[in-house]
Amino acid sequence: MEVPPDAVRRLWEREAGRNGRGEEGSGLLTVLMDAYDASVLTDVVRGFCMSRLLRAFWTAVLVVGPCQRLSADDSPKPSAIPPKQLALPLNLAAPVRPRQLPPAEKGPPFRYTEATHGAGSVKYVGDIAVFTLQGTPEEIGEQTAVLAREVLPPLLETPKRVIQQFGLNYDLLRPVATAAATAMIGHSPERFRREMDALAKHTSADSSLLYIANSLTELRRIGGCSAFLVTPDRTATGEMMFGRNFDFPTFGVLDRFSCVSIVRPNGKRPFVSVAVPGLTGVISGMNDAGLALATLDVYASRDGSAKFDMNGAPLALTYRQILEECATVDEAKALLEKTARTTWMNLACCDRNKAVIFEITPKTVGVRDPEGDILRCTNHFVLPDLTAGVRCERFRTLGALIDFKAGEKFTLEEVHRCMHSVHQQDLTFQTMIFEPATLKLHVAFGPGPCTKLPLQEIELKERFAGKQ
């Protein structure tokens, strides 16, 4: 259903005045996607069976016999899954729409303990926890482990909760997920594994949990998300603006423990990452050159590529590599093209002058340019060679807002209202706007929809230079 212009006008006026009238604004959309083909068993099984290192494990799994599904309270059901259904728990990369998940229980508010450890620290800017991490991979891993020691245990349980949320046997599935994650991480720069291993060492955690957490996007896609990029010709400041909502089930912890991390790796570009502690990869971030990016799940492609290819590098780690090594959109494209990719994904990306959407598959890195001076992105491909004909309502709404503002320039506040107009209720627990030219981040966290909250501005230039 297309959004009529009068509805857009009412939405815009309501959101513009919501603070003065005490209104929250319910958001125009809550529907995520149309139905998709959720079966990727063939691709996953082929990936495992083709790996020599995993053949022995694969054989062992087949010999073990049928596994049991778990009910919501983790108590075994009376009957086991018949042998012919043994493969069901191995369907790692099947897309699951967030609305299929039950609402997470909301935990009490959390505040990090401000502290320093070595060259690292955690301090607050307003209500936003800001970690500063720097040095070698081992030093960054240790700093994360010590400064985030209060939250890492529940965060490292998240992969388990994701798996169990779908009624799957975690004990059986974990070795398979670990093997897949370990194989994929082997295709990324070794420094990332060293950082994860150091973090695990200083938390007495199993490093395999970190491997799974940093590959979870590829192993189980359950995210939503929206992005809205306004090029310099259409902003009131004359500089690029990049709005982004991160929509994902919180499992009762992700919203509470969200943070901003300023990372200064030795010999690499400094960057900011918006996520949670323990995520070595990047899902939303910007570096000191003003190169910004954010990932958005995709659930269908027409290029005939595998839905899951274990011979690729985890995309979140590739995105971090981009921020550490690239300064422009063109450099990011070159790195993406030479790096093996695991699955379908949109990557919204901009530098100070140029904005694109990289439509990524194991076969292809497509480049989608702005519609005029603006780019919108949700959870489907648009390029003719990749699109599966899917359009979500959030994508249509952003298009209607672009039409409504035709010929006019967007302010920061209006980009914020655009992001609020496409929130997904409790799934939207992180929202942000990057300003690449001035190296500023505007961000809000909290129980969804966090788009109703005021944005906290964080100056990055001095922090990237190590002066704050």
pLDDT for 160? 79
d(CA 187, CA 311): 8
pLDDT in tens, 8-58: 444 444 444 443 333 333 322 222 222 223 333 334 334 444 443 443 333
pLDDT for 272? 98
**C-alpha Rg value of the chain to the nearest Å:** 21
Degrees (nearest 5) of the Cα angle 139, 143, 147?
175
| Cβ atoms of 462 and 34 closer than 8 Å | no
User: Could you tell me the pLDDT band of residue 91, with boundaries at 50, 70 and 90?
Assistant: very low
Q: Is pLDDT of 317 > 50?
A: yes
Across the chain, mean pLDDT equals 81
User: Could you tell me the pLDDT band of residue 348, with boundaries at 50, 70 and 90?
Assistant: very high
d(CA 265, CA 245): 27
Q: What is the mean pLDDT of residues 370-398?
A: 93
d(CA 130, CA 148): 11
- CA distances for 420 relative to 23, 292, 334, 373, angstroms: 13, 20, 33, 21
pLDDT in tens, 258-290: 999 999 999 999 999 999 999 999 999 999 999
DSSP SS3 for 340: coil
Amino acid at 202: H
The distance of Cα 279 from the centroid of its chain, to the nearest Å, equals 10
Q: Is pLDDT of 90 > 90?
A: no
Alpha helices in 69-189 (DSSP H): 137-147, 152-156, 158-165, 170-185
d(CA 446, CA 263): 23
pLDDT for 220? 62
Q: Is pLDDT of 70 > 80?
A: no
pLDDT for 219? 65
Diameter of the chain measured on Cα atoms: 65
Q: Is pLDDT of 328 > 80?
A: yes
| Least confident residue range of 47-51, 415-419, 446-450 | 47-51
d(CA 213, CA 162): 10
Looking at per-residue confidence, does 180 or 333 come out higher? 333
List CB contacts of 285: < 8 A, sequence separation 6 or more: 271, 272, 273, 274, 292, 293, 294, 319, 320, 323
| Least confident residue range of 166-170, 182-186, 408-412 | 166-170
Q: Which DSSP helix (H) or strand (E) runs through 226?
A: strand 226-230
Q: What is the mean pLDDT of residues 317-328?
A: 98
d(CA 35, CA 196): 36
Looking at per-residue confidence, does 194 or 4 come out higher? 194
Q: Is pLDDT of 397 > 90?
A: yes
Q: Is pLDDT of 444 > 70?
A: yes
Amino acid at 406: A
Burial string for 235-270 (b: 16+ CB within 10 Å, else e) reads beeebbbbbbbbbbbbbebbbbbbbbbbbbbeebbb
Q: Is pLDDT of 225 > 80?
A: yes
Degrees (nearest 5) of the Cα angle 252, 253, 257?
145
pLDDT for 221? 66
Q: What is the mean pLDDT of residues 344-352?
A: 97
| Cβ atoms of 128 and 443 closer than 8 Å | yes
pLDDT for 100? 53
Q: What is the mean pLDDT of residues 356-385?
A: 96
Domain segments of the chain as ranges: 5-36+225-249+292-455
User: Could you tell me the pLDDT band of residue 101, with boundaries at 50, 70 and 90?
Assistant: low
CATH of domain 5-36+225-249+292-455: 3.60.60.10
